[in-house]
Amino acid sequence: MVTGVRGAVVLLALAAATPNVKYFRYERAVEVPGGGGARQTCAVLDEGIYAHAAPGLGDVRLYRENGADAQETPYAMREAAPMEQQQKEIAPLNLGHKGAHTTFEAQMPAGRYSDVELDIPAKDFIASVAVTGADTESGREGTELGLFTIFDLSGQKLGRSTVLHLPESDLKYLYFRIDGPVKPEDVHGLTVERVPVKRQYVTVADTNQVTQKGKATVATFQVPAHVPVERVEFVVGAEPANFSREVTVQARAVPSRKANTDQEPPQPVASSGNLLRLHTTREGQKIDEEDLAVGAPWMDSGDAESTWTVTVDNGDDTPLAITDVRLEMAERRLCFDAAAGTTYRLLYGDAALAAPQYDYAKLFAPDANAGVAGLGAEKANPEFEVRPDERAFTERHPGLLWVALVGVVLVLGVVAVRTAKGTPKG
């Protein structure tokens, strides 16, 4: 029995669909920059490809045109690392007093890092933080990285910020001196944002049409299936100069009429954030802080499109002059070695395909000077044909298997009854 199952798995593997130009529904021309010789080149993928490709872009293929023939070209997909994977929590070392100041140290992770956020749950304070760095644990007389202002003005509805915008650094140790009402017991730790990849975003949908519903400003969007949304960014007029507003981002799947009604629809998801703009001087400390983007909740809508609702709570203040709201996804790039003077096509829209496995992707090393390719407008593939159903007969007609099984059971039942009746009593 086990041998039979293994054999079936092997047969299924051998029967897996193979890519063929004529079975892709959509195509995009790849505009490769000029220059001699083969060169690593990358193209930014937009939301249109996600809407019409298989989930996870598993059916995307790149073809090099060679006369009447088309040759599949290996590629590597580069995806910006999620923010959660870029951050690392660090415990403070030697936390205590030095005169009137709160001081502590931190051993930083290997590699380059930038912004550091202090975990200080205290309320209603303004303080300045001097930061120096060194490569040795005793290097207090190290490199000065700057003087930063941290604050919590939530009691005045002006938000809070404990982020230190450090210059990019790879120093092993940082030394912090806090001047203000923050006590050692108020410092619980810090998180650091690693910078292996500079995070860029691509607009999925945007609108300048917002509505007022009571004290809230609301924007809504329809997003095609499979298109990821990871951030919401706002464009706000110059006035008011200072504000802090709570934002709620909600998403729910909208199943189409063709959806399988036997499946439970995905549950709605939601997340919250804060829009902040603060340019002022408080208690002798200059504060310049602006954050006009919030994270989006993760939504897996399957094959259904989704509705996104973004709500800004204005409280009793005048609504913000919002001129644009954008749903964004982290930038993904498709990289390959482009030959000069060669035409390439990106094809997708064949759900029967599995994701490709290329040595090129496994051994890929990004080139800081890679060329930038453009993608032409999406077009229907002129060669498209519907892929024939190559599944086994029983897979294409599963109902017949049950009919046959029921028939066998009935026949066996009839035979059993007749056999019982024909058996002489002892």
Query: Which residues, listed in sequence order, are joined to residue 213 by a DSSP beta bridge?
Result: 216
78-82, 245-249, 296-300 — which is least confidently predicted? 78-82
Helix or strand or coil: residue 13? Answer: helix
Helix or strand or coil: residue 77? Answer: strand
Tokens of 262: 């036997």
Cα–Cα distance for residue pair 164/148, rounded to 1 Å: 6
CATH code 2.60.120.260 region(s) in the chain? 84-194
Cα–Cα distance for residue pair 15/318, rounded to 1 Å: 63
Question: What is the SS3 string spanning 143-171?
Answer: EEEEEEEEEECHHHCCCEECEECCCCECC
Q: How far is CA 261 from CA 256, 257, 265, in A?
A: 10, 9, 8
Q: How far is CA 313 from CA 22, 310, 364, in A?
A: 51, 10, 46
Single out the residue of 75, 72, 33, 69 nearest to residue 57, CA to CA: 75
Q: What are the pLDDT digits (tens) for 68-81? A: 688 999 999 987 55
> Going by CATH, does the domain composed of 84-194 fall within 3.30.43.10?
no
DSSP 231: E
The beta strand positions in 165-225, using DSSP E, are 173-179, 189-194, 201-207, 211-213, 216-223
What is the C-alpha end-to-end distance of the chain, expressed in Å? 40
Whether pLDDT at 262 is above 90: no
Q: What are the pLDDT digits (tens) for 346-390? A: 999 999 999 999 999 999 998 888 999 999 999 999 999 999 876
Q: Which residues contact 42 (CB under 8 A, 6 or more apart)?
A: 78, 333, 334, 335, 336, 370, 371, 372, 373
Helix or strand or coil: residue 68? Answer: coil
If you average pLDDT over each of 74-83, 134-143, 322-331, which comes out highest? 322-331
Whether pLDDT at 66 is above 80: no
**pLDDT at site 5:** 39
Task: Please give the mean pLDDT across all residues of the chain.
Answer: 85
Q: Which residues contact 221 (CB under 8 A, 6 or more apart)?
A: 205, 207, 307, 308, 310, 327
Whether pLDDT at 34 is above 80: no
Single out the residue of 131, 128, 124, 180 nearest to residue 154, CA to CA: 124
| Sheet containing strand 189-194, strands side by side | 87-90, 189-194, 113-119, 163-164
**pLDDT at site 395:** 59
Whether pLDDT at 184 is above 80: yes
Q: What pLDDT band is residue 263 in, cutting at 50, 70 and 90?
A: low
Q: Which fold has domain 201-330?
A: Jelly Rolls (2.60.120)
Cα–Cα distance for residue pair 218/213, rounded to 1 Å: 7
Mean per-residue pLDDT, 379-403: 75
Q: What are the pLDDT digits (tens) for 74-123? A: 999 987 554 444 456 899 999 999 999 999 999 998 878 888 999 999 99
Residue 278, classified by CB atoms within 10 Å of its CB into exposed (0-12), middle (13-18) or buried (19+), is buried
Q: What pLDDT band is residue 282 in, cutting at 50, 70 and 90?
A: confident
* Helical residues (DSSP H) of 17-117, grouped into ranges: 47-52, 83-86
The beta strand positions in 255-378, using DSSP E, are 269-282, 285-291, 293-295, 305-313, 322-330, 332-338, 344-348, 371-375
